[in-house]
Amino acid sequence: MKKLGLGVLGLGEGRSIISGALNSELWNVVQLCDLNEQLGRERSHEFSLNNFTTSMDALLANPAVDVVGIYTPDHLHATHVIQALRAGKHVICTKPFLNDLSQARDVLAAQKQSGKAVMVGQSSRFFAPFARQRKHFETGAFGEIIMVEAYYNADHRWFLKKGWAKTDAFKWLYGGLSHPVDLVRWYLPDIAEVMGYSSLSKNGRDLGLKNDDTFQFIYKSASGITARVSGTYNSPVIPLQRDSNMSCILRCANGASQGDYYDLRYAWKLGEQSCVETFEDKDDYYFRFGGHSHHAGEYQNYIEYFARCLAAGETPKPDVREGIVTVALMQAMEESCASGQPVKVKDVLARQGLVELLQP
Ligand SMILES: NC(=O)c1ccc[n+]([C@@H]2O[C@H](COP(=O)([O-])OP(=O)(O)OC[C@H]3O[C@@H](n4cnc5c(N)ncnc54)[C@H](O)[C@@H]3O)[C@@H](O)[C@H]2O)c1
Nearest in space to 328 (alpha carbons), one of 340, 346, 306: 346
Provide φ and ψ at 89, rounded to 5°: -105, 150
SS3 call for 252? strand
CA–centroid distance for 182 within its chain? 7
Q: What pLDDT shows up at residue 189? A: 97
| Tens digits of residue pLDDT in 208-239 | 999 999 999 999 999 999 999 999 999 999 99
Q: Is residue 91 domain-shared with residue 189, that is, in the same domain?
A: no
Q: How far is the CA of 26 from the centre of ligand 1 (A)?
A: 24
Contact between 279 and 129 under an 8 Å Cβ cutoff? The reply is yes
| Tens digits of residue pLDDT in 266-292 | 999 999 999 999 999 999 999 999 888
Say if residue 275 is exposed, middle or buried (CB neighbours under 10 Å; 0-12, 13-18, 19+): exposed
Show which of 123, 153, 177 is a domain's final residue: 123
Q: Is residue 93 domain-shared with residue 144, that is, in the same domain?
A: no
Q: Which residues pair with 256 in a beta bridge?
A: 251, 269
Domain that holds residue 273: 125-280+319-349
Q: Answer yes or no: is 313 within a domain.
A: no
- For residue 178, the ligand 1 atom closest to its alpha carbon is 43
| Tens digits of residue pLDDT in 72-110 | 999 999 999 999 999 999 999 999 999 999 999 999 999
Separation of alpha carbons 159 and 166, rounded Å? 9
Q: Is residue 132 domain-shared with residue 48, that is, in the same domain?
A: no
Q: Is residue 119 domain-shared with residue 134, that is, in the same domain?
A: no
Say if residue 218 is exposed, middle or buried (CB neighbours under 10 Å; 0-12, 13-18, 19+): middle
Q: Answer yes or no: is 34 within a domain.
A: yes
Task: Tell me which residues have their CB closer than 6 angstroms to ligand 1.
Answer: 9-13, 33-36, 39, 56, 71-74, 76, 94-95, 121, 123, 162, 175, 295
Q: Specify the residue with its C-alpha closest to ligand 1, atom 31.
A: 35
pTM over 0.85: yes
Q: Answer yes or no: is 258 within a domain.
A: yes
SS3 call for 337? helix
Q: Answer yes or no: is 289 within a domain.
A: no
Q: How far is the CA of 226 from the centre of ligand 1 (A)?
A: 33
Q: Is the bond preceding residue 318 a cis peptide, omega within 30 degrees?
A: yes
The enclosing domain of 88 has a CATH number of: 3.40.50.720
Q: How far is the CA of 147 from the centre of ligand 1 (A)?
A: 34
- For residue 10, the ligand 1 atom closest to its alpha carbon is 24
Q: What pLDDT shows up at residue 359? A: 86
Q: Is residue 141 domain-shared with residue 180, that is, in the same domain?
A: yes
The string of DSSP codes covering 187-243 is H-TTEEEEEEEEE--HHHHHTT--S--EEEEEEEETTS-EEEEEEE-SS----TTT-
Q: How far is the CA of 32 from the centre of ligand 1 (A)?
A: 13
Q: How far is CA 77 from CA 7, 98, 161, 184, 309, in A?
A: 15, 6, 20, 23, 23
- Residue of 11, 71, 157 with the most ligand 1 atoms within 8 Å of its CB, for mutation: 71
Q: Specify the residue with its C-alpha closest to ligand 1, atom 10.
A: 71
Q: What pLDDT shows up at residue 231? A: 98
Q: How far is the CA of 144 from the centre of ligand 1 (A)?
A: 38
Residue 241, pLDDT above cutoff 90: no
Nearest in space to 278 (alpha carbons), one of 296, 293, 295, 262: 262
The enclosing domain of 165 has a CATH number of: 3.30.360.10
Q: What pLDDT shows up at residue 290? A: 84
Report the percent of the chain where pLDDT is more than 70: 100
Q: Is residue 222 domain-shared with residue 73, that is, in the same domain?
A: no
Report the domain count for the chain. Answer: 2
Q: Answer yes or no: is 294 within a domain.
A: no
- Residue of 17, 82, 94 with the most ligand 1 atoms within 8 Å of its CB, for mutation: 94
Q: Is residue 144 domain-shared with residue 113, that is, in the same domain?
A: no
